[in-house]
Structure 1
Amino acid sequence: MKAFRTLLVCLLALTGWAGAHEITFSRVDVQLEAQATGVNVQLPLKALLHEQPSLFPLGTTAQTLETQPLPEKVRASLKALITVRLRLASGKTDLPITVQTIQAAGEDVTLKLTAPPVGGSLGIRANLFPHDTLHKVFVTVYRGESLAGQYALDRQNASFTLAAPERPFWDVIITFVREGIHHIFIGVDHILFVLALILLGGRLWSQVKIITAFTVAHSITLALAALNIVVLPSRLVESTIALSIVIVGLHDLQQLRRVDAAERGWDPRVLFAFAFGLIHGFGFASVLSELDLPRQALAWSLAAFNVGVELGQVSIVLLAAPLLFALQRSAPPRLTQVLLTAAAGLVVLTGGFWFCQRVLGTA
């Protein structure tokens, strides 16, 4: 009988302890994207209220944490908790976390966070309730639409590292070639500059030299900028690109005033192509800065992007050059002169408009 009473007392004590302190679970969902890292956190009210010393102002109850919107002091406490106890890292670099929203959600509080993109391996430390030996944190990581990993963390094992996936070599090449082609066809200013360079026509060899000079120049500065060796302010780069269009257009107008091509003398278009190509390279680099450059294949990704740019440029030249050739060979000289002059004037006006927009910061 005495043994039974002892067992009963132990069971009652255990039941009372279990009722006072249940096992609680938090959830952290991490979405890895090229532009940013999104994080959704779900914190149970029971774990928040069990924390000692209390995280919240005196008098905070479960009903307080269920109100919409949450009181400002409660929001501040939750923000402090998550920014201190949840750590994200890209390789060896800690990522700053920004709290976007905090909301009550039934028996939980949900927080929506953002952080810079993860460029290499992902490291997470989530010791959300360090004084609670029973608390668990379930972390799920997604790369785009794919599940990258799932982890269960507690006070003893509060962190993990998810290695960066290795992309197949040809996947890297194809991706960056495609991005280079895409950028040329959406970069109207680059297209207009190339068209202005070839507007006057000329022998095939002269056209080849112009495009080659442009290619060599922007390849140099594209690599320098992508490797962070030389970085120029975006407004300066974009304004100078617009100015390059104006200068080449004005040169075209000046040359077109001379009806006899023999009177035009030295052709500076190769010099223009190289000098301004250096600036256009910085413009191309701004696109690469928005992409997830794989460090293990950096040289190849840069080369592939550059190949894509060249393929886009060659496509534009192959489309435009035959039309210009046919115009100069088939149309009456006077009509050719008028049409080319109008085209050069449009180049100057468009470039001038862009230049004013970019210098004033209204673009």
Structure 2
Amino acid sequence: MHQLNLCFQPAWLVRTLLACWLLTQSAWVAAHPPGLSSVDVVVKPDGVIAKVTFALQDIEAFSPMDSDLDAEVSDAEREAAKPAVAKLLADQFRLLDGNAVLAPSEPGRVDYDEQNNAHVEFHFGPLSSGRLTLQSAFLASLPDGHQQYLTVKDGDGKTLAEKMLGKNDASLSVELTAGAAQAGGGAWLTAFADFFKLGVEHILTGYDHLLFLFALLAVTHNFWPALKIITFFTIAHSITLALAGLNLVELPSSFVEPFIAATIIYVSAENLIRGDHPKGREWLTFGFGLVHGFGFASVLREMEISSSDTGILLPLLSFNLGIETGQIAVAAIVLPIIWWLNNQIAIADKFLKSCSAAVCMMGAYWLLERTVL
């Protein structure tokens, strides 16, 4: 009896710490992860067109739209804020023709979409030199993790350059010569690395996706059941990520985000009710994984990001590989702990139920936040 207690206490401590860690996620999910924006520049003989796309939440902190302070932004208030939004970005986004700063030929045109993004388009005069430099000073005001994907194309749609900008690297110079344009077409490797990194970061900060996967894996005791669940989840979300990224199937985020929260509640509740070894879990994983794929795709589609030479295919492939790499890394760390705890007869049931209850509460919080709140 004494030996059982000595073995029980460390395991109980691990279980308690893990449950507490899950509960602390509520402090993290109150804030959105670092943002993502894009800049598409088209260089034509008669001028330059630059289109900047930002999430409204990134702009509202610097250009408030809630003029009547009622905690809600009406359509009229958003329309009234367009000149301020255009001026804000015009002051922060600079184009240089050689060493000369280009001024927009007219105020920026602002449009909003249904995904709470703002699209600001600027028109500049023709270039007189062979070098174009772009500086995005606005990134210095945003969180450290904010990334801005920049593409530069000529009038025929040929890629001249593409780069992921950040606070510490917020500019790009492009040599506008025939040789440089051809060299720019070889930037696919850089784009691949950028989107791969984006995928890793997205899954590591996608706490809802991670908790869903944790709830699925919490019932496993060894390698093969876990591999089956991870494989089915990977196949499912890869299918819908591709379909959504190619614009073949579209689901509104107002449906996808609450449904993702509901999948977390369902799986964790199943753990509480059915306990260990629920049958058919891999097919449940596949069905719910299809919806999670739409959540992954929103990162690319809502910000209208694509790699010009390969369309959306290169970003889709590298972004998905990044997601899988991050997912495998997390699983490699968490699964040995889960298996060890599940194989401790004295505490296995308590571990599963306490962690599942914590995950269920987080899922319920997200569901309320994404619907009622």
TM-score (norm 2): 0.56
Greater displacement, 275-284 / 320-329 = 320-329
In 1, the alpha carbon distance for the partners of 2:324 and 2:314 equals 15
Q: Deviations over 1:275-312 (max 9, x none)?
A: 11111111101112337320322323311111111111
Question: Unmatched 5+ residue regions in structure 2?
Answer: 1-35, 52-81, 92-102, 112-120, 135-169
Aligned residue number for residue 15 of structure 2: none
Superposition CA RMSD, Å: 3.9
In 1, the alpha carbon distance for the partners of 2:266 and 2:234 equals 19
Among residues 285, 293, 296, which one is paired with 2:306 in the alignment?
A: 293
Kindly provide the amino acid, as one letter, of the partner of residue 293 in structure 1: S
SS in structure 2 of the partner of residue 100 of structure 1: helix
Q: 1:34 to 1:353 in 2, by over 3 A?
A: closer
Kindly provide the amino acid, as one letter, of the partner of residue 288 in structure 2: F
Greater displacement, 320-329 / 272-281 = 320-329
Q: 1:249 to 1:145 in 2, by over 3 A?
A: same
In 2, the alpha carbon distance for the partners of 1:86 and 1:320 equals 54
Among residues 282, 286, 291, which one is paired with 1:279 in the alignment?
A: 291
Question: Unmatched 5+ residue regions in structure 1?
Answer: 1-32, 39-84, 91-95, 104-109, 128-135, 151-161
Percent identity over the alignment is: 29
Aligned residue number for residue 242 of structure 1: 261
Q: 1:148 to 1:116 in 2, by over 3 A?
A: farther
TM-superposed CA distance for 1:116, in Å, is 7.7
In 2, the alpha carbon distance for the partners of 1:325 and 1:269 equals 17
Question: Are 2:299 and 1:312 equivalent residues in the alignment?
Answer: no
Among residues 120, 135, 142, which one is paired with 2:133 in the alignment?
A: 142
In 2, the alpha carbon distance for the partners of 1:123 and 1:291 equals 17
Aligned residue number for residue 100 of structure 1: 87
Q: 1:125 to 1:322 in 2, by over 3 A?
A: closer
In 2, the alpha carbon distance for the partners of 1:353 and 1:277 equals 20
Aligned residue number for residue 355 of structure 2: 343
1:82-231 alignment to 2 at 5 Å?
88=49, 99-100=86-87, 113-114=107-108, 126=125, 141-143=132-134, 144-148=170-174, 165-231=184-250
Aligned residue number for residue 47 of structure 1: none
- 8 Å CA contact 1:244–1:276 kept in 2: the answer is yes
Aligned length in residues: 241
TM-superposed CA distance for 1:336, in Å, is 2.4
Rg larger in structure? 1
In 2, the alpha carbon distance for the partners of 1:116 and 1:218 equals 33
TM-superposed CA distance for 1:344, in Å, is 0.3
In 1, the alpha carbon distance for the partners of 2:308 and 2:173 equals 23
Q: Deviations over 1:170-229 (max 9, x none)?
A: 212222211111100010001001100100113422211111111111001101111111
In 1, the alpha carbon distance for the partners of 2:109 and 2:218 equals 47
Q: 1:284 to 1:196 in 2, by over 3 A?
A: same
